Structure 1
Amino acid sequence: MASLYQTSTIVPSADASTVAPAFAIFNASSSNATANLFLGETRQLTHHVLANLTNLSLTNSGLFTFPDPNAPIRTPEDCKNFPGDSVMFPGTITTTVFNLLLGGSLIHTTPLASPCFPDYKNQDSAKCAEITSNWFNDSYIHTDDPTSINAILFQGTTCVPSVVNPFATHCTLGSYPTLSVNVSTVAQIQLAINLARNLNIRLVIKNTGHDFGAKSTGAGSLSLWTHNLKDIHFYGDYEEGSYKGPAFKMGAGVQVFEAYKAAREANVTIVGGEARTVGLTGGYILGGGHSPLSSIYGMGSDQVLSMEVVTADGKFVTASETSNPDLFWALRGGGGSTFGVVTSMVIKALPKIPVTTVTFTLSTGTEVLVDQFWQTLRAYFQDFIRYTDAGMYSYFSLNALTGNYVWTMQPWFAPNLTAAQFKEITAPFWNATRIIGVDLKPVYKEYDDFYQAWDESFPLESWGTNLQRPGSRLFPKENWEDQNKLSETFEAIRYVVDSGGYVLAFNIAPNPKGGYPDSAVNPAWRNAVLHAVDAVTWTQDMYPELIEIWSSVLTFDWGPRWRSVSPNSGAYLSESDYIEPDFQQSFWGDKYDRLYELKKKLDPWNVFYAQNAVGSEDFQMSDNVFGMLPSQNSRLCRKKPTPVGK
């Protein structure tokens, strides 16, 4: 690492507005990455800075030190420290010193919906009305908030507007973190990680909170809010390992809509998600990341050339094929909040690509009988392999929640194909619909570039309901190579819809013809042609006991049916059952053992934890909701070994 050329001075009696934050500035070349560091990445915590704090006799400065590499790993406590367990956290002195070192970026959590209640003394009827009217349909208000998350069911719905819970009268933290750091520098991340490790505090990471499994929240925790790491730099001719070509370096807070806009301006294309507010270089890529372009280019994580990461020991390192390759392997698909805090990634940029889209809706009623509905859908299922072999992707939903069966194709997405080519490839399906007697009235659109096709095809995603719980399954190509297996697969999916469930599905095959890098991505993705999400829903007036019964249907009825027709496959960790059975196999297959070993090696202190993340089986929440769902609004504790013979 390059030598220190500037250090800050910490004055214990000063306030955050007059104190320089605790960091040293390094040359951009101090990283092993080919791409220069962003400005915030040059601001790093060092032993030199910590020595200065000690010399100043700054109170509690020892809480922010790096681990001694020669000292044994201490025996961990049974549970993570909770507010009230120690005077240190969130003690007044510690919090004050922490905020000074951070340069004033510490946030005391005030839940997003708190203006609707008197508890935080910020009640504001106009602000409450604005939050209430936008709660479900404006995900930006949640991603721009330090602690708001999508999975409010598992948060505990302790501070929600009346559209979520008309009976709510108070606002409490629930599983929202006690404190958050508005991250703008590497040093801030290092300070928080060191404090969490040294005090055994639960640490969580929130980028956007766009997650179905409550991975970015936790009661009594300290949170790293990486959302504002928005730097983007385009390289027209980038070299990393064997790759030579255009690439972007993007901060961890860059969202899909921002990344796609930058790619359009550079006249290139990048592989990202369909949802606008997802953090592209955050949990999306760390979990693998499927895309409308996956049938051509593979997973989002397949595009990564390097990452800048702060690890559990507080070190700032580069992860690439040549620098910390084991960490690089794990971060691409091994899941977020597990191996470190990513500050930026370098990802491949691809040529500009035209797209054809098709949309339609089919609903039962006076003109379409139930049998016709399912015959039409079965005809569509028939050629999934043919479609993905051509690079296609489709995004469709199925439900009968209103009494009629409804199939919405929004959209059938065909990169690098004209409308004429699309019609030729899909001709057997359209011929079948005519025989069945159904007119889908498809709407075709052709676009010169991916951005416009994406922008017009995928609406802003909904957010924040406590009235549903999803699961998922990756259905393999082999099920389409055997007509009996295909019929069993189709019937298993129909069963969920007939039983009152909602199905959101993707015809997708992230197994590109050009191959893909070795990484921690679930191997089931490489064999899949269908990723399907099933969701159970309930109404606000249901009793908790009835919700528990209805919720259990997802895990213990629908899930087994889907697994029975895909026994050697898996599920997508970022869109999955909150209590996925045997999640290790489902999310990572035969790669799990290596991931678990790396987790123990890279994070022996268990600084990082998230629901269903690698190594999470060693921990448990101290309480449940609806009988069986671990409550993030409770203590995080180590599982006690099962006595021999039990």
Structure 2
Amino acid sequence: MPLPGNSVLTLLLVVGLRAVWAQTIVLDNSTVAANEFTVAPAIASVDARDSNSTAALFEGETLQLTDAVIANLTDLELSNVSLFSFQSESSPEETLSKQSLFGKCKTYPGDPLWPAKPVWKLFDVLLGGALIETVPYASACYDSFGNYDKAKCDFITNNWINASIYHTEDPTSINAVLFQGLTCMPPTLVAPKAKCTIGGYPVYAVAARNVAQIQLAVNFARNLNLRLVIKNTGHDFAAKSVGMGALSIWTHHLKDIKFFGLYRQGRYLGPAFKLGVGVQAFEAYEAAREQGVTIVGGEGRTVGVMGGYLLGGGHSPLSSLYGMAADQVLSMEVVTADGRFVTASETSNPDLFWALRGGGGSTFGVVTSVVVRAYPKIKVTTLTYVLATGETVTAEQFWAALRAFFDGFITYTDAGTYEYFRISRVGDGQFVSDMGPWFAPGMSRAELEALVAPLLARFRALGVAVAPVYTEYGDFYDAWAANFPVEPWGSHTIRQGSRLFPRASWRDAARLNATFDAVRGVVEDGGYVIAFNVAAAPRAGYPDNAVNPAWRQTVMHAIAASLWDTSGPEADIRAASDRLTFDWVQRWRDVSPGAGAYMSEADYIEPDFAQAFFGSKYPRLYQLKQRYDPLGVFYAHSAVGSEDWTMSEMILGNLPSQNSKLCRV
């Protein structure tokens, strides 16, 4: 039978290590399992509103690891309790000194100080049974983990690429499988003799449902110098949610949602949502629709909008009107590297608040919830069409028509619209670009028709015919749901890189010519381009935060993708990979000096990532990284402070492998 609150914790500790190792407790001469159903984790319950929180804490946020809990564990002489203690406020150097005993690298399986099984069992009991030992998502296709299941393997294989919704429900599966090491892929997608190992996946994951579990994980990782990673959904081009030998905090289950019809904070007075960090785009948008309001998020359905998306800035179909997703944040609740749970807002930990809004995920702490502003319900009109070469459209006509579209980018973003389009080569001298969609928030069909009329007139003058399809929607949700399908996932035959092209290039004829030619040249060479005509400097202004300054000057965010055939020689695959970084995207860098790239959709080995992803904000971000995480508890590839670390192995010669040791430079 379940037991209440702290009495459970005390009972568990009194029975001592026998209960911990056996995963049982004795109650009234009856032996019961010690798990998440019969015992509480090592927590204390606090009031739902503390002195710093700007909104009442969610229930899971009221369950915290406190100094009193740690003291209780210590007083009862529970073995290894020091592994779960908070960082010493007086001397982080003391902890760093202890870590130096481990050497320059994180602690890994096989190292003398890697936790023994009984320690992991103790950790699991204190977590309340939330520890998951990793079994890779595709392991059902192999005998390696004792769970071979042909039917399940067939399902996983058939839905590997086109069903991200399944991957996001797994504690360790990620999108950027190439950098994980490809150690457990469906065999038909790699090689007949493929094997399944954990490789670059974390060894354990904590399925976090409350703050105490996150605090325990952070403290445990810090005190043992374990590599710590954070996974929300696994959407990321840089495999930031994995790492060999790591402990992962899986925040996917933090899905509480609360709406405030009238929320007051500082200078803001209006509707707002408090959203758990595990809330995904489709859930956030459904909640907004139910309340008759609109919130800023991305187009991807299964992306965790309050996680790495928002922390990295977050561009949106609404950005030209309202700015980046990070601009909407009013406050955040976060577990920092010392294990403490704090509020970050304009008045509480303002430096941390500044850094979290655009400074990147997995860097300064583990966010548990975010309060964001909401906007009135908004109508949307969309336009779709296909521009393609064919019997009546030559390649030169195609490129001339596409250039006519490019010419209007400032006009379109100034009007608040967002164009999501793709360009590809489909044969020798044959090209296609589909508009999917031209997204016009706040506009009627007549207003959008008037905006694009000059462009369609230019198409006709060039002898290019397209069949525009307009659709009016009563609110954002309906337009979003109809136009953005579930995103693809998990391809190991692709690398992507991106660039933020500045408005200044459109104000100079020579620079615009060079920009257009650079995009055209990549497509003609076989690159696949996904692009967004989007701005992030709304007329109403935007707050001072860590969002890359390049976003405030942008009118086009473009992604180039290089693909290859895995059956070919490795030299050819490496050439295709290198072409992306050192040829195609380099052309884009050359025509946009001083601009940047969007960190969440960027080249894995972006040269000078600090400038590209953070621009002039980087020195302050690095300084704050040293203040809030002096021990390097949080690491993510190409995140703030990542230059202080290196990985021991490479993929294709120059791609750091997450299936390798992480060591200080």
TM range (shorter): over 0.9
Name the structure 2 match of 1:484. Answer: 510
Match of 1:247, SS state, is strand
The CA distance in 1 between the partners of 2:214 and 2:646, in whole Å, is 25
Shift of 1:31: 5.1
Name the structure 2 match of 1:347. Answer: 372
1:509 counterpart = 2:535: yes
Match of 1:58 among 78, 84, 87: 78
Name the structure 2 match of 1:555. Answer: 581
Deviations 1:144-164 (A, max 9, x none): 000000000001111011342
TM-score scaled to structure 2, two decimals?
0.94
Name the structure 1 match of 2:43. Answer: 23
The CA distance in 1 between the partners of 2:423 and 2:91, in whole Å, is 57
Gaps of 5+ in 1: 640-646
Shift of 1:465: 0.2
Match for 2:164: what amino acid? S
Match of 1:406, SS state, is strand
Name the structure 2 match of 1:188. Answer: 213
Name the structure 1 match of 2:89. Answer: 69
Shift of 1:282: 0.3
Deviations 1:95-127 (A, max 9, x none): 000000000000000000000000001000011
Gaps of 5+ in 2: 24-33
Shift of 1:166: 3.7
Match for 1:218: what amino acid? G
The CA distance in 1 between the partners of 2:591 and 2:80, in whole Å, is 57
Match of 2:326 among 274, 285, 301: 301
Deviations 1:551-602 (A, max 9, x none): 1111111122111111021000000000000000001111100000000010
Q: Is the contact made by 1:364 and 1:373 (CA closer than 8 Å) also made in structure 2?
A: yes
Name the structure 1 match of 2:351. Answer: 326
Q: Is the contact made by 2:92 and 2:631 (CA closer than 8 Å) also made in structure 1?
A: no
Deviations 1:587-620 (A, max 9, x none): 1111100000000010001000000000000101
The CA distance in 2 between the partners of 1:157 and 1:371, in whole Å, is 41
1:158 counterpart = 2:187: no
1:493 counterpart = 2:493: no
The CA distance in 2 between the partners of 1:563 and 1:35, in whole Å, is 43
Name the structure 2 match of 1:642. Answer: none
Shift of 1:167: 2.7
- Aligned pair in 2 of structure 1 residues 549, 22: CA closer, same or farther (>3 Å)? same
1:47 counterpart = 2:67: yes
The CA distance in 2 between the partners of 1:562 and 1:133, in whole Å, is 36
**Pairing 1:248-397 to 2, within 5 Å after superposition:** 248-397=273-422
Q: Is the contact made by 1:193 and 1:203 (CA closer than 8 Å) also made in structure 2?
A: yes
Match of 2:196, SS state, is coil
**Pairing 1:464-479 to 2, within 5 Å after superposition:** 464-479=490-505
Name the structure 2 match of 1:437. Answer: 463
1:113 counterpart = 2:138: yes
Shift of 1:261: 0.3
Match for 2:396: what amino acid? D
The CA distance in 1 between the partners of 2:73 and 2:92, in whole Å, is 25
Match of 1:236, SS state, is strand
Name the structure 1 match of 2:237. Answer: 212
Q: Is the contact made by 2:6 and 2:40 (CA closer than 8 Å) also made in structure 1?
A: no
Q: Is the contact made by 2:328 and 2:373 (CA closer than 8 Å) also made in structure 1?
A: yes
The CA distance in 1 between the partners of 2:617 and 2:439, in whole Å, is 31
Match for 1:43: what amino acid? L
Shift of 1:423: 1.5
1:92 counterpart = 2:124: no
Q: Is the contact made by 2:107 and 2:114 (CA closer than 8 Å) also made in structure 1?
A: no
Deviations 1:172-211 (A, max 9, x none): 0111000000000100000000011000000000000011
Name the structure 1 match of 2:449. Answer: 423
Shift of 1:627: 0.1
The CA distance in 2 between the partners of 1:232 and 1:155, in whole Å, is 32
The CA distance in 2 between the partners of 1:371 and 1:632, in whole Å, is 44
Q: Is the contact made by 1:176 and 1:218 (CA closer than 8 Å) also made in structure 2?
A: yes
Match of 1:627 among 626, 648, 653: 653
Deviations 1:269-320 (A, max 9, x none): 0000000011010001000000000000000000000000000000000000
Match of 1:228 among 249, 253, 276: 253
Match of 1:148 among 173, 192, 195: 173
Deviations 1:353-382 (A, max 9, x none): 000101111222223211111011001001
The CA distance in 2 between the partners of 1:175 and 1:402, in whole Å, is 38
Q: Is the contact made by 2:416 and 2:440 (CA closer than 8 Å) also made in structure 1?
A: yes
Further displaced range: 16-25 or 189-198: 16-25
The CA distance in 2 between the partners of 1:215 and 1:98, in whole Å, is 24
Aligned length: 634
Q: Is the contact made by 1:152 and 1:466 (CA closer than 8 Å) also made in structure 2?
A: yes
Match of 1:426, SS state, is helix
Match of 1:30, SS state, is coil
Deviations 1:313-351 (A, max 9, x none): 000000000000000000000000000000000000100
Match for 1:93: what amino acid? P
The CA distance in 2 between the partners of 1:373 and 1:86, in whole Å, is 64
1:245 counterpart = 2:270: yes
Match for 2:88: what amino acid? D
Shift of 1:547: 0.9
- Aligned pair in 2 of structure 1 residues 337, 56: CA closer, same or farther (>3 Å)? same
Match of 1:556, SS state, is helix
Q: Is the contact made by 2:203 and 2:245 (CA closer than 8 Å) also made in structure 1?
A: yes
The CA distance in 2 between the partners of 1:229 and 1:385, in whole Å, is 39
Q: Is the contact made by 1:31 and 1:37 (CA closer than 8 Å) also made in structure 2?
A: no
The CA distance in 2 between the partners of 1:627 and 1:139, in whole Å, is 29
Identity %: 59
Match of 2:615 among 565, 570, 589: 589
The CA distance in 1 between the partners of 2:620 and 2:40, in whole Å, is 42
The CA distance in 1 between the partners of 2:268 and 2:148, in whole Å, is 55
Q: Is the contact made by 1:66 and 1:194 (CA closer than 8 Å) also made in structure 2?
A: yes
Match for 1:410: what amino acid? G
Match for 2:85: what amino acid? T
Q: Is the contact made by 1:88 and 1:94 (CA closer than 8 Å) also made in structure 2?
A: no
Q: Is the contact made by 1:31 and 1:318 (CA closer than 8 Å) also made in structure 2?
A: no
Deviations 1:241-269 (A, max 9, x none): 11011000000100000000000000000
The CA distance in 2 between the partners of 1:80 and 1:255, in whole Å, is 32
Further displaced range: 397-406 or 272-281: 397-406
Shift of 1:461: 0.3
Match of 1:308, SS state, is strand
Match of 1:173 among 172, 179, 198: 198
Q: Is the contact made by 1:400 and 1:406 (CA closer than 8 Å) also made in structure 2?
A: yes
Match of 1:62, SS state, is helix
1:38 counterpart = 2:58: yes
**Pairing 1:6-17 to 2, within 5 Å after superposition:** 8-9=9-10, 10-11=12-13, 12=16, 13-14=18-19, 15=23, 16-17=34-35
- Aligned pair in 2 of structure 1 residues 443, 183: CA closer, same or farther (>3 Å)? same
Q: Is the contact made by 1:288 and 1:301 (CA closer than 8 Å) also made in structure 2?
A: yes
The CA distance in 2 between the partners of 1:368 and 1:162, in whole Å, is 43
Name the structure 1 match of 2:29. Answer: none
